[in-house]
Every structure is written in structure tokens, then in C-alpha cells.
Chains A and B, each alone.
Chain A
Amino acid sequence: MGGVGTLHRGTRPCPPAFDPLRGPIPQAEGEESQHPIALMDFLGFLITQCLNALSQAALLFFLGVGLTLIFGIMRIVNFAHGAFFMLGAYVGYTAVHLTGSFWAALVFAPVAVGLVGAAFELGILRRLYRRDGSAFLMVTFGLTLILGEAIRLVWGVAALEVPSPQSLSGIVFILDEPFPVYRLFLAGAGVVVALAIWQFLERTRLGLLIRATSQNAEMVHALGTDVRLVRSAVFGIGCGLAGIGGVFAAPLVTASLGMAPNAVIDTFVIVIIGGMGSFPGSLIGALLVAFVQVFGTYYFPDLAMAFMYLIMLAVLVVRPGGLLGKEA
């Protein structure tokens, strides 16, 4: 069915009747033969929407996993996470324009954002660990404001274009439904990063230390490991992951000052659904939110805004600590 460049047909999965839109449609066969076409259309719709949800889940996962790693180790909620996401997009913009390569931006931006995060931990957060939780809320919220203003001063108020790489800017047809290559790539990148983090936590020495520290920091310290270094590293890695998310999101939403407040709310919802501090929890939270968002918005657009919060509410009622949270 139809290749690149042909005029594709639209679909109407609900009710599952085939509706010719534009262009000639082969209607020679009888009525019975319309059903397979309708079914194929519905299948195409289903696959593309699932891929959409996966690509969204990838973006949400980059945000959520960083926040949850930081919480797991440090027991602090990083309000500045959205600002690091935004910083990733802006640094990515500059890297793309300096080097002309999206791939360079994908390496440079997370490293730069991670270093800013680690420096913040070393310079400021480290002095506050003896204080109660509200100190971290204030400080990280303050950092959000500072980063936002700094970005406004450096890059200006106008939204900035970050084009997706030429090799990924095409579309493929999936059962006649057009689908952007870039989103396929996003979904793939989400899988790769999730596997990489999992392997990192399970197989490497730093991963082992991170897991140990999240369970019993004092014991790790007593065994001769500098827990403070582990904390700095984790804060840097978490911010770097938010930075990757920012670069990946930029071609879809442009780099703009509205990114931070938008992102931080989504991230909190995902982490609360998955369970604070749980790596697989953030993955499940991201997938759940993305799928419900995509299909919910399609069938009940009036409730688009409510879905994410409804899932959160349901999870909190059933499992107050989140799906995979420790308190549950």
C-alpha cells in the first residue's frame, strides 16, 4: 500500500468505517472488501499512535529517571530539574549552530549540563545536607529562577529553532500512515538509554556504589567510600540526563523559556506514579503517562489535561508510595 510520496488516506477508527478523503480510492470491489481496508487503516492508526506514545515516553523518561536517581541517593526533590532540561535545549541550540551537527550537540549539551549540575552540588547543595528538606526546595527553586533569567540574558526571549538532523528529517509510511523518522529515532534512543542506565547500575562499580548509597549511605561511608563524591556524580548524571532530554525535545518544541515549568510538572507526576527513587518505576511511569495521554487525547480531547493527574490520583489512592516505591 502506497509508498513515499503518494497521497495517503486518512483513517477513522471510531466508528471503524472507511471514509475516503482526498484523491481517488479504489472502490471497485464490493462492500465486503471494505472491511479489510478499514482494518488495515485502524491497524496503521494503532501502530503510529503507539510509536507516538513511545517517543513521548522516551522524552518523559529522560526527565523522570534523572530526578528519581537524585532522589534515591540524596533524598531531595530537585525543583531545578526542568531548568536543566531547558538549559540542555539552549546549549544544544548553540552547539548545533557552532558545529553544524546535531550529534555533536547530543554529546556536548548533556556533558555541559551535567557539569553545571555537579558544580551546583559541590558548591551549594553539599553545604545544606544537615538542614531539613525545605532548604533544598528553596535552593533548587531559586536555581530554577536564576537559570531561567540567565538563559533569558544569554539567548534572549524569542524561541529558537533547533532543526532535527538531515538524516532523520524524513518520514516513513507505516501501513499508509505517515510517521516522522525523528520520532522513531526518539523511541529507539529511549530504549537504548534505558538499557544503558540499567546496565550501568547493575554492572559498574559506580552503579553498585549508587545502589548501595541509596540503601544505606552511612554503611557505604563506613566501608571507606567517599559518599559525597557519589552524590556529586549522581546529581551531575541526573542533570545530564535532563540535558539529553532537552536536546531531543528541542526539534519538536523549539528551545523556549516555557520549557522549564512545563517539564518539571510532568517529571514530578511520572516520578510520583513510578515511586520516588525507583529506576524501573520512572520507566513505567513514563510509559503509562505517554500511552494514556496519546490515546486519551484522541478519544476524549476535552479531558486531555486531566489524564496525567487522574493516573497519579489513582496510583496514590492504591499505592501511596508509587507503583514501585519503597514505602508502598
Chain B
Amino acid sequence: MDRSSPLARRLLLGGATLAVAAPAVLRHARGETPIRIGMPVAMTGPGGEIGLQMRHGAEFWAKQQNAKNGLLGRQIEIVAQDTGGDPATCVRKAQEVVERDGCRLLFGMTLSSEALAVVPKLAEWNAIFVSSDNGDGRLTGSSFVPNFFRANISGPMETRVISLWLRKSEFKNFYALGMDYAWGHNSIGVFEDEVKKANKTFLGAVYSPIGTKDFSTYITKIRQSGADACFLVLQGDDNNAFLSQAHEYRLPDKVQLLTSIVDLNSIHAVGDASLGLAGSTRYVFTIDTPSNKDFVAEWRKEYATEPDVFEGEQYQACQILQAGVEAAQSIDAEKLRPALEKVAIDSIKGHVAMRECDHQAVQGGYMVKVERPAGAKAPLPQIIATFPGDAITPACRQMTFDS
């Protein structure tokens, strides 16, 4: 007895350890490690608000799927890392999640500059990156790489939605206000072209430095331009300050304000000052599809609020990745790539089909206007026009439209 006691204890301990570890060990033996998706994303700095939404959207999807036995029977794990919106940091963090955490699937890269820095590395890492918000046309054009897929609407597509809408609109004379850096100048350049193609008048543009707090002078210039509509390329605090002050000066009574992105954060921040604002949107929770209604209902149950633009766009990117992985029955880049190229699903935004030639997801475009429907507590974006995917998607690997 004296000699068998330690043995018995050891056996017991060993047995207990085995019993505790067995499910994990067995899962591992069957290849059922979690599917880890790397998400280097800007959570602070420029784009931090957008990055947090992207992360939120991906984590919501992962939680939903994990409750339903995961993806290919494996749990999904989102490995999020803050890039601070800096391309060099983003490349480093992406490398970390690939090499240290073993991720072969990537989401995130909030800013296009970050994505452009990362995509040349994808082949070397043997990783697939599904973008949910990068707007830069070059990613599916001159900088295209086979392991990059764009699930979201691109910048040129966004502008195309506005330009198709303004061709039909009653507005004739346009002015523009943009933030004084590449994004503002590029977007207004594209917009100016579109105005001219629509045989309407572009009166001019003014650019405000990033961080402008007082917009009274710019509001005066817009009013004096004689425009009946003004295109805005502003974001974050600058956008909120402009909308608050434009409302103060009653500018929207006289000039229709158009914007490249209508987002809920900004509407919440400025309240009634957002009323009347029109623009294209990548996603809005009022989209009328069965899949979106389910999504919004479950989102509300989880967070007691509505999903915002980049939360919805991220969720669609997750749906596209999921369809690809399920078709390929693998997350290996060689098998997944051809499967993703053929994805065509009814996502929360409606029908969306990945294009084989440049990996751009062809999808409908929405034009919304901020209104306060009867009984609503706060202003809401309402869809005022919808454009089919083939009308708003440029030709393969192109960034512009011929007509």
C-alpha cells in the first residue's frame, strides 16, 4: 500500500490531466485549432473611430458563428492589433499576427495607405486579406495582388453613386469644401469631373486645414459662390464642426449639402444639424433586405443600438469570407483564392458578387438623405436612391468611368 500510493496518485493526476486536456488534444489532432483571423486595425489616431467599428463588426460576426459551431467546425478568433493609422506600424503588426499568431486570413488595415503598404507582402506570407473599408482605387487597379479581395465599395464607386444621382437631380451649380490633404483634393477632383460630365457647372472649391475649428469664413464663401449644392469632403471633428456651424448660419436652407460618407457617429454628434445632408453611404442599417433585418435585430439585441457604416461593411466582408471558406472547405490561400473569386451571395446589403479579374465585389450603391421620420427620436439616414452594381463599378482594374 505504501508503495502503490504514490503510483495511484500519479495515475489519478495523469488521468485527471488527460480528462481535462482530452477535448483540446483531440481537437488539435483532428486539426480543429481555432481559425485565427489577424486584424491590424487603427484603434487610435486618424481613423481610430472607423477602426473600432471594423473590429466591432468582425467580433460580432465571430461571436455569432462561434455560437453556431464556428467556421468549418472550428472556432473563430479575431486577433486585433492597434496600428495607430500608421502604414509602417501596420506592416509590422500584420507581420506579427502572421508570424507569431499564425494567422493566414487578414481583416482590417483601416486606411488605404496602410493597405497599400501591406498588400505587397501577402504572397510571401501566403495570407489572404479581405478588405472591408479601403477606398483607394489602386488596390484593385495598379496595385492589385492576387491575395487581396475588396468586399466593400471603393472610393471611385462611392463618388460614382453621387454623380449618377446628381445627373438626375435638379441642382445645377456646385461648389466644394474639402480637407486640405490628398483625400480632399482627389475626391473633389473626381467630383469636378463628374459634374462636368453631367453638363452642370462647377463653380470652384475651397480647402480647410485639418483641425479647423471655425468654419464661418468657409460658410460665407459657400454662400457667396451662388451654388445650389455643395460637396463636402470632411471627416471626424472637422466634419462635426462644419455641420454644427453650417446649421447655425442656416446654410442648408439655401444650399443642399452633399457628402461622400454619411455616418451615424456624425449624425449623433451634431443632432439636428445633420438634417437634410445627402450623400452616398457604404452601408446603412435601414437597407431593406431580409438578411439585413436579421442582422440589425441581432445587433440591437446585443448592443441596444444600430450598426454603423463600417460595422455593416465589415459584417458583409465577413459574410463573403465565410462563403469562400465554406466553398473551399479550407483556409489555405491556394484553395481559398479560387473559391473567393466565385463568391456570389445575398449579403446584408443585397446581392454581391466577387469579380475574378480584379477581386472587387460588385454590389449596389446607396444614396441617403438625413431626415427625421415621424416618431423618430433622432435624425436617421433614409435611402433616397439605389444604383445597381454594374452601373457603379468601373471596368476591371480601372479607377475611372468613360461616361
Q: Kindly provide the distance from the CB of A33 to the nearest chain B CB, expressed in whole angstroms.
A: 21
B240 & A48 in contact (Cβ 8 Å cutoff): no
B248 & A180 in contact (Cβ 8 Å cutoff): yes
A251 interface residue (CB < 8 Å to B): yes
B269 & A294 in contact (Cβ 8 Å cutoff): no
Instruction: State which of A159-167, A228-236, A315-323 sits at the interface with chain B.
Output: A159-167
B248 & A252 in contact (Cβ 8 Å cutoff): yes
Instruction: State which of A7-15, A110-118, A214-222 sits at the interface with chain B.
Output: A7-15
A254 & B270 in contact (Cβ 8 Å cutoff): yes
A178 & B224 in contact (Cβ 8 Å cutoff): no
Chain B neighbourhood of A302, CB < 8 A: 207
Q: Kindly provide the distance from the CB of B122 to the nearest chain A CB, expressed in whole angstroms.
A: 30
Chain B neighbourhood of A301, CB < 8 A: 206-208, 217-218, 221
Query: How far apart are the CA atoms of A252 and B269 in the complex, in Å?
Result: 11
A262 & B269 in contact (Cβ 8 Å cutoff): no
Q: Kindly provide the distance from the CB of B172 to the nearest chain A CB, expressed in whole angstroms.
A: 11
Q: Kindly provide the distance from the CB of A314 to the nearest chain B CB, expressed in whole angstroms.
A: 20
B220 interface residue (CB < 8 Å to A): yes
B249 & A253 in contact (Cβ 8 Å cutoff): no
Q: Mark A135-167, 1 if CB is under 8 A from B, else 0.
A: 000000000000000000000011111011000
Q: Mark A207-218, 1 if CB is under 8 A from B, else 0.
A: 000000000000
- Asked whether A256 and B269 contact (CB < 8 A) given A159-B237, A180-B249, the answer is yes
Q: Mark B46-57, 1 if CB is under 8 A from A, else 0.
A: 001100100000
Chain A neighbourhood of B213, CB < 8 A: 249, 252-253, 262
Q: Kindly provide the distance from the CB of A81 to the nearest chain B CB, expressed in whole angstroms.
A: 16
Q: Which applies to chain A's interface (DSSP): helix, strand, loop or mixed?
A: mixed
Q: Kindly provide the distance from the CB of B194 to the nearest chain A CB, expressed in whole angstroms.
A: 23
Most buried by A among B213, B248, B266: B248
Most buried by B among A45, A49, A183, A258: A258
Q: Mark A49-62, 1 if CB is under 8 A from B, else 0.
A: 10010001000000
Specify the chain A residue showing the minimal Cβ separation from B378. A161
- Asked whether A161 and B214 contact (CB < 8 A) given A254-B244, A256-B240, the answer is no
Q: Mark B237-256, 1 if CB is under 8 A from A, else 0.
A: 10011001100111000100
Chain B neighbourhood of A19, CB < 8 A: 226
Specify the chain B residue showing the minimal Cβ separation from A157. B49
A48, A163, A169, A253: the one contacting B241 at CB < 8 Å is: A253
A158 & B214 in contact (Cβ 8 Å cutoff): no
A12 & B228 in contact (Cβ 8 Å cutoff): no
Chain B neighbourhood of A7, CB < 8 A: 254
Q: Mark B258-274, 1 if CB is under 8 A from A, else 0.
A: 00000001101111000
A305 interface residue (CB < 8 Å to B): yes
A297 interface residue (CB < 8 Å to B): yes
B189 interface residue (CB < 8 Å to A): no
Q: Kindly provide the distance from the CB of B166 to the nearest chain A CB, expressed in whole angstroms.
A: 18
B271 & A161 in contact (Cβ 8 Å cutoff): yes
Query: How far apart are the CA atoms of A305 and B208 in the complex, in Å?
Result: 8
Chain B neighbourhood of A161, CB < 8 A: 268-271
Q: Kindly provide the distance from the CB of B84 to the nearest chain A CB, expressed in whole angstroms.
A: 14
A258 & B224 in contact (Cβ 8 Å cutoff): no
Q: Kindly provide the distance from the CB of A274 to the nearest chain B CB, expressed in whole angstroms.
A: 20
B217 & A298 in contact (Cβ 8 Å cutoff): yes
A182 interface residue (CB < 8 Å to B): yes
Query: How far apart are the CA atoms of A293 and B225 in the complex, in Å?
Result: 20
B236 interface residue (CB < 8 Å to A): yes
B49, B217, B265: the one contacting A49 at CB < 8 Å is: B217
Query: How far apart are the CA atoms of A305 and B181 in the complex, in Å?
Result: 12
Specify the chain B residue showing the minimal Cβ separation from A265. B211
Q: Mark B203-239, 1 if CB is under 8 A from A, else 0.
A: 0001111011110111011011110100000001100
Chain A neighbourhood of B207, CB < 8 A: 301-302
Specify the chain B residue showing the minimal Cβ separation from A250. B244
B211, B237, B244, B268: the one contacting A251 at CB < 8 Å is: B244
Most buried by A among B207, B217, B223: B217
B226 & A21 in contact (Cβ 8 Å cutoff): yes
Q: Kindly provide the distance from the CB of A51 to the nearest chain B CB, expressed in whole angstroms.
A: 9
- Which residues of A are interface residues toward B (Cβ below 8 A)? 7, 10-12, 19, 21-22, 45, 48-49, 52, 56, 157-161, 163-164, 169, 171, 178-180, 182-183, 249, 251-254, 256, 258-259, 262, 293-294, 297-298, 301-302, 304-305
Top 6 A-B residue pairs of the complex, sorted by shortest distance between their CB atoms? A159-B269, A305-B209, A258-B237, A180-B248, A253-B241, A297-B217
Between A and B, 18 residue pairs with Cβ closer than 8 Å are: A49-B220, A52-B216, A56-B216, A158-B268, A159-B237, A159-B266, A160-B269, A164-B248, A171-B249, A178-B250, A183-B216, A183-B248, A252-B213, A252-B244, A259-B237, A262-B213, A297-B218, A305-B209
